[in-house]
Structure 1
Amino acid sequence: MSTMTDSLVLARRNLIRMKRIPEVVLFGLIQPIMFVVLFTYVFGGSIQVGGSLSQQTYREFLMAGIFAQTVTFATAGAGAGIADDMHKGLIDRFRSLPMARGAVLTGRTLADLVQTTLTLIVLALVALLIGWRTHENIGKVVAGFALLLLLGYAFSWIGALIGLTVRTPEAATSGGLIWLFPLTFISNAFVDSNKLPTVFRHIAEWNPFSTTVQAARELFGNLPPGFKTPDAWPMQHPIIASVLWSVLILVFFRTLAVRKYRKAAG
């Protein structure tokens, strides 16, 4: 309980910081909105999914991928924030306080989760304005967003580990993004993975990012008519696979990050 209390106190500290620097949240919104507009209106009529070139079909197919990309790109912010605290010596100040060692990282990742949730809400409203619709009940839609946020929270611990490993916030930002681009583009986020070259198709089908995108599409009712689901197990059971991937990533990287923090603060 004391660890959770300490984590919530530090999460509040990070939320206050975000409130005082609103441009961080604003800039975090601009990129996903640009991706929505770019892919919907520039590429939407030329990318075929489920045997259809309909812009509306592609718009609904696309949005789960944009949502997933948005929550995972928050990884860079988590890493940069922790690297900044390390660089300024704030972590050394926390060491002098009677608090749980892991609370510093948990507080940061929880604050990032709140920011990601707000970004996702705004992005969903923008998507509704341009014509995105869900075709399942509210319970399934909420479950879809919950899976997306779980993936984003798990990835924020990767960002935490990167932030503890590098020496500057700039390096943390670069290190938090450089591996995300191949992860998100070698996936089913923007195109039908069945149309990818063989090697890339297998990577996409077992990609944890793709798994969550597929699960969200099913829960939102956004799979195109005539869409052929790949035979790989994660694509056939995306909801279960998404939870398993996210929990595995969360446990593994949280363990490494807390261990790294203890060494850095020891």
Structure 2
Amino acid sequence: MGCNQAKPIAPMDAPGATVAQQVEWKILPSSQEARKKFEADGTLGKNSDPGQLELRTLLDDPLAQPVIFKYVTEVAKAQDLFLCWMDILEFKKIPSEGFRRTTAMTIYNKYIKPDAALVIGDIEMNERERYKAELEASRENPNLISLKFFDKVQQRCFTGLYYNVYIPFKQTNEYLFLTKQLQERYNVVKLNDFEYFSKLGEGGFGFVVHCRKKSTGRHYAMKLQTKKGLLECFADDPYRADFEKQAFATCQHPFIVNLDYAFQTDSLAIMVLG
């Protein structure tokens, strides 16, 4: 089936051009991949339910973090749990033993020490004393402070956030608005918004098909790439997986194929070019 020739149009008048520039093509893992990752780094329990996985995913998203923090501060009054959880998450990224020990002391003084300003309540006194003793011992032996040093505290914070923040937050309009924002930010359209014709070509980890958007009748070339292939190809620098999308989004021109949509499924990263 052929396409009718359309007259050239001004770059920013191209359907979807603004959408394509605003969409952040973040390579989102599948729920199974996300669960495996979070269990491996100790931030999600082995038998966690789907709600806990959603909370853990939201805590990892820069768009969701300020929304959750606002709710935590204004409604749930659980700043200590949120800030402690985030500080420990950053602590786990520190490669240097010396700096890790310094940061561990800050976390202890801020959240675990009995008279700390943002003391976490659900920690037994003998556990607080153990942290103090191990931090003292680490003066001579900094490698005592491993990346998993605060795992139990972080898990307590997460449990508190789940029951005291996430469950009531999920019943609010703010939650509905946030999920809509995330959907619009990362997935403007879906695969079933199009009908498909012939394959136009294929490459190392993807292929291109001729498709038509059902709501507009407009024809496109849809490039579908496996996220596994992209991430393996750019394993040394995963952000490079986004370069092609960014190049298309910033080069809107009548004589260059336009990127009208960028979205994804659990396994595919997809660009719709027209």
Q: TM-score range by the shorter chain?
A: under 0.3
Which of 1 and 2 has higher RCO (CA within 8 Å, sep 6+)? 1
The structure that has the greater radius of gyration is 2
**TM-score between both structures, scaled by the size of structure 1:** 0.25
* Structure with greater proportional helix content: 1
**TM-score between both structures, scaled by the size of structure 2:** 0.24
* Structure with greater proportional strand content: 2
